[in-house]
A and B are shown apart, each in its own frame.
Chain A
Amino acid sequence: MEEQEILTTLKILIIGESGVGKSSLLLRFTDDTFDPEQAATIGVDFKVKTLTVDGNRTKLAIWDTAGQERFRTLTPSYYRGAQGVILVYDVSSKQSFNKLDAWLNELETFSTKQDMVKMLVGNKIDRSNHEVSKEEGLKFARKHHMLFIEASAKTNDGVQCAFEELVEKIIQTPGLWETSGKTIRPGQGGADVSQGQSCYCVI
């Protein structure tokens, strides 16, 4: 895998209510760290990570937005050009789930790519007090044509999978990511996807 040519750079957006664990998911994914006292994001955070999916090496430019209402006005400009979005809610907070509609609305409003791939992530499944069931999440995701996964940044459950599934789906979507006449066809069936984790993303 060393120095394999990077197929493309994808812009991924992480959105969702304040405190659902967006930054934790990102840090788990990029740095494989977890801070239970993770501070609230101010404005926006940015991380880069390369990821190989199906034998295709892609660079991910991940924008982690602030969930807090008072920073909300800053975010719209970051939506521009995003090919994928990870919409996060907290399974132990019904309220964060209920707000998903508003987030989808904002996404519709500001995204520039029509066929942008959306992934719904129910975070914090390590917790015991679930307020949102998996079925509910699945139903919502189906309704809005999103990928769906439950995850835990704390226990590193489904985090890697969520990003991989999203990237795979993006690469499979024609016209979404090709840049400047490059005609590298994504390879098929290179690496094993599941890596032994139960990875069940659904459209």
Chain B
Amino acid sequence: MSFVAQILQHSDQFEKKAIHENVEALTSKLNEMTVEVHQLAESKYVDFKPNLGATEKLEAKASDLKQEISELENKINNKINNQLSFSAGEFQDLNSKLAESKSIYEGLEKLTKITSLLQESERCVHTKQYSQAASSLSQVESMLKRPLTNQDAKISILAALAMEVKVRKGQLDCLLTDLWKEFVQWNIKTEKNSTQQQEMTLSPVKVSLCVSCEGDCISELRNIVIGLHKQNLLNMQMKSFVDKFKKFIVPLIVEYPVLDIEVLTSGPTKTLVILRKEEATEQAIDKAYVSVFSNLIYIMTELSAMLLSSEFNSEDTESNKYTSTDLSKEGSSDSTNHGDTLMSWLGAEVGPWLLDLLQRTVIAKAVPTNSKDLDGFQDVIKQVTVVHENLIEIGFLQPDNQILLKSVENVNMLFSNKKSQTILVEARNLMISGLHEGVAVTEDKPMGEWPPLTPGGVKKVQRLEVATNHQLSDNTFRMPRCRISENIQTLVTLAYETLQEASESSPECALQMFLAVNSMFEIFCEVVPTHHGKTLETFPQVAALHHNNCMFISHHLLTLGHQFAARLPPIVNPTFVSLIQQIRENGVNVFLAQIRRQQDLLLDCLEEAKGFGQLEEKARGEAAGRAIKQVMLQLDHLQKIWKPVLPINNYKKAMGRLIGCVVTHITDCVCALEDIAQTAAQTLLKLLSPMESTCGEMLVLPGETPSVELTRHVESWPRLTELQLVLDASLLAVGDRWAGGQGPLALAFTPTEVRQLVRALFQNTDRRANLLATIK
């Protein structure tokens, strides 16, 4: 047996012994517990039974008591409720009585206050505290507006009071108005302007404004003003004041620079007398603005001192105690604040109008018309600034009103606008006045030397080379000798002068002036053909002048821009060439129309000859002679008026055309004749032969050959010379002249015409037949 086994066997015995001992101990404890439970149960029951009985009795007693209590409570409830409702009714009754008494008290208090206010106002009126009176009344009024009770209508005293207030108010109104009228008296002397009509303007001669304002009166006046304002009457009074100011004082100031202004003080009244000085109106026109401005400042300052510095929307300080609840602003009586003076009222009413008037009349007149006088405008600016400052100081203008200063700010703009206007008016006057006064366009440079061309482009050496290699004629780019309307020359000179001035002015002015010149010529395009339409149609001389005018203007427009380009601001594109086409076309068209008209006249004359047939008859011969004489006379007239006017080339062309028209008509007529008797041919020759010298004379300048000029300018002239030859020629000579279609006759007439002529002139022979055969 191992040691371990021995130990295990030993412990087993010990364990069995221990368990036995434990079982014995438990058994004895269980017995003890049984006894204890039995004892406990016995003793508890014994105590419990009697307690139960007592408790049941007590319960019964308690429920009895509870019954009694609820009965009692019911009784009490009934009784107290009754008493409570009664008491509540009584309380309410008392309460309403209290309220009634209170409102009666309030009403009475208000009435008292109203009464005292009314008394106060009356007292104030007596003491000349009109503003006070007015404010009291208005307070009463506002008080009456708030209903005392909802049964105000039944309270008769309220209605009576309202009536009373109304009456008082009316009285005050009357009083104040009367006082205002008394204090501010106008005395205006006017003269009727020319016509009898009622609405014609009355121009003032003498205006005097009399204001009683001395010492205490100042405050009285102010009181009146404030009173009026409070009574809402100031509006009306000021309206009439403003009207008078606008109607009488301002025109005097603006239109008559020389005024006699006096302030007369007598006792408490001050009188401002403005008197127009008739005799002096003509003088001193030059610097009218100076006196106008000083008059304005003087009058305005005086008005301000006399009357208009009064504030109307404030309470005097001493009355503040009474009206502390009034809506008027505290501190508005501060003298630096002009917001609510009569002057500011006046300013608000007429300010914009007056400033505008000043701008349009006085300042506009003071704006210089010449750039040289621009410096002088500084003085105007200074004057305007003084006026501006003065008007602000007296409160006529609000400090932020810059209109007057702005109006003179841009001198350049004012100047250039005025300048443009002046130019255009002047130009238009020139254009609509007569065109018939002519002046000669001389060949020398009319506007002095041209400035050098703008450098650049071609190198100088190259330019010199070109210039020396290709000598231009002296006549290049020259206006040919002719006559133009005097007015148009003045117009072009005006354009040059304006541009000259533009080139010496500031860029803005320059631009304006340049545009003015441009407009000037645009106006020319429109105005002249329209305004002078009838004249241009009727008078060949005027048509010729107009033609030249157009050419003259175009001639200058070509270079006008370039001449001044270098000296004008770069924003200007200095060219007038776009107008040239239109102007030239107009000139040409007018003149061509005139030529057509003259053509018609000439052909009318030729109609008298009835085709130049049967000239062997005396009457027909004479008629034809008369017709040709008329035509020549008419051409001679045209020569007389056109030759000195038109450029020589245009003149020759025009006359050539008219002569050509006559020649064509005569030769066509003769070619169409069936038969020309020998005597008729001789008559015709006699009629036609002087034409060469007469017409030739019309076309030649000294040293020129008439026949050459006729051939040169009258396309159909050879027809006349050939016709004359044929009329006087033998058959043989005609044949030679024809020369198989190679002779001069063939140049002037067609074969048909020649054959017709030969048939008409010569008798039917074999020789004639032979000749006719060769003409084809």
Chain A interfacial positions (CB closer than 8 Å to B): 8-11, 42-44, 46, 48, 59, 61, 70-71, 73-74, 77-78, 81, 179
**CA of A182 to CA of B234 in the docked complex: distance in angstroms?**
122
Task: Flag whether B644 is at the interface (Cβ < 8 A).
Answer: no
- Are B743's CB and A46's CB within 8 A? yes
Other CB < 8 Å A-B pairs besides A8-B740, A48-B737, A179-B740, 11 of them? A9-B742, A42-B708, A43-B711, A44-B744, A46-B737, A46-B743, A59-B740, A61-B739, A61-B740, A71-B708, A81-B742
Q: Which of B705, B708, B712, B743 contacts A61 (CB 8 A)?
A: B743
* Residue among B708, B739, B747 with the highest chain A CB neighbour number at 10 A: B739
Top 9 A-B pairs ranked by shortest CB distance? A9-B740, A61-B739, A61-B742, A48-B736, A11-B742, A61-B743, A46-B744, A9-B742, A48-B739
Distance to closest chain B CB from A141 (angstroms): 25
Of B705, B707, B742, the residue contacting A10 (CB under 8 A) is B742
9 A-B pairs with CB atoms under 8 Å apart are A9-B739, A11-B739, A44-B744, A46-B743, A48-B743, A61-B742, A71-B705, A71-B708, A81-B742
Q: Does B480 count as interface, using CB distance less than 8 angstroms?
A: no
What distance in Å separates the Cβ of A195 from its nearest Cβ neighbour in chain B? Answer: 25
Instruction: Give the residues in chain B near A73, CB-CB below 8 Å.
Output: 712
Given contacts A48-B736, A77-B747, contact A70 B741 (CB under 8 A): no
Q: Flag if B707 contacts A42 (CB, 8 Å).
A: yes
- Judge whether B712 and A74 touch: CB under 8 Å: yes
> For chain B residues 103-117, which have a beta carbon within 8 Å of chain A?
none
Interface string of B709-746 (1 = CB under 8 A from A): 00110000000000000000000000011011111100
A43 engages B708 (CB within 8 Å): yes
In the complex, what residues of A have CB within 8 A of residue B736's CB?
A: 48
**Contact residues in A for B705 (Cβ distance below 8 Å):** 42, 71
Q: Chain B contacts of A10 at CB under 8 A? A: 742
Nearest-neighbour CB distance to chain B for A145, whole angstroms, equals: 23
Chain B residue with the shortest CB-CB distance to A46: B744
Complex Cα spacing A44 to B741, Å: 17
In whole angstroms, what is the CA distance A44 to B744 when docked? 10
Asked whether B708 lies within 8 Å of A59 as measured between CB atoms, the reply is: no
Min CB gap B745→A, angstroms: 9
Contacts of A59 in B (CB 8 A): 739-740
Rounded to whole angstroms, the CA-CA distance of A48 and B725 in the bound complex is 15
Which residues of B lie under 8 Å from residue A46 when comparing CB positions? 737, 739, 743-744
Separation of A78 and B742 alpha carbons in the complex (Å): 10
The minimal Cβ–Cβ distance linking A86 to chain B, given in whole angstroms, is 15
| Separation of A8 and B740 alpha carbons in the complex (Å) | 8
How far is it, in angstroms, between the C-alpha of A61 and the C-alpha of B744 when the chains are bound?
Answer: 9
Which residues of B have CB within 8 Å of A11? 739, 742
Who on chain B is nearest to A77 by CB?
A: B747
Distance between Cα atoms of A46 and B721 in the complex (Å):
13
B719 → chain A closest CB, angstroms: 13
CA A10 to CA B741, docked complex, whole Å = 10
What are the residues of chain B within 8 A of A74 when measuring CB–CB? 708, 711-712
Specify the chain B residue showing the minimal Cβ separation from A12. B742
> In the assembled complex, which residues on chain A have CB atoms less than 8 Å from the CB atom of B740?
8-9, 59, 61, 179
Q: What is the CA–CA distance of A198 and B754 in the complex, to the nearest angstrom?
A: 43
Among candidates A48, A70, A77, residue contacting B708 with C-beta atoms closer than 8 Å: A70
Give residues of chain B (193-245) contacting chain A, Cβ–Cβ below 8 Å: none
Tell me the complex Cα distance, A190–B547, Å. Answer: 67
Inter-chain CA distance A179–B705, complex, in Å, is 38
CB-nearest residue of chain B relative to A73?
B712
| Chain A neighbourhood of B708, CB < 8 A | 42-43, 70-71, 74
A70's nearest neighbour on chain B, judged by CB, is B708
A182 to chain B, nearest CB (A): 11
Q: How far is the CA of A74 from the CA of B743 in the complex (A)?
A: 16
A187 CA / B744 CA spacing, docked (Å)? 29
Q: How far is the CB of B501 from chain A (nearest CB, A)?
A: 47
CA distance A179 to B708 in the complex (A): 33
Residues of chain B lying within 8 A (CB to CB) of residue A179 = 740
Residues of the B chain whose Cβ atoms lie less than 8 Å from the Cβ of A61: 739-740, 742-743
Query: B711, B712, B740 — which one has the most chain A CB atoms within 10 A of its CB?
Result: B740
Chain A residues whose CB sits within 8 angstroms of the CB of B712 once the complex forms: 73-74
**Beta-carbon nearest neighbor of B741 in chain A:** A9
A196 to chain B, nearest CB (A): 30
Residues of B within 8 A of A70 (CB): 708
Which residues of A sit under 8 angstroms from B739, Cβ to Cβ? 9, 11, 46, 48, 59, 61
Which residues of A have CB within 8 Å of B737?
Answer: 46, 48
Bound-state CA distance A70–B704 (Å) is 9
Q: Which residues of B contact A77 (CB under 8 A)?
A: 747
Complex Cα distance A71/B742, Å?
21
CA gap between A101 and B743 in the complex, in Å: 27
Residue of B nearest to A10 (CB): B742
Alpha-carbon gap, A59 to B739, bound state (A): 8
For the complex, give the distance between the alpha carbons of A9 and B739 in Å: 7
A11, A42, A61, A73: residue with the most chain B Cβ atoms closer than 10 Å: A61
Interface string of B741-764 (1 = CB under 8 A from A): 111100100000000000000000
B758 to chain A, nearest CB (A): 17
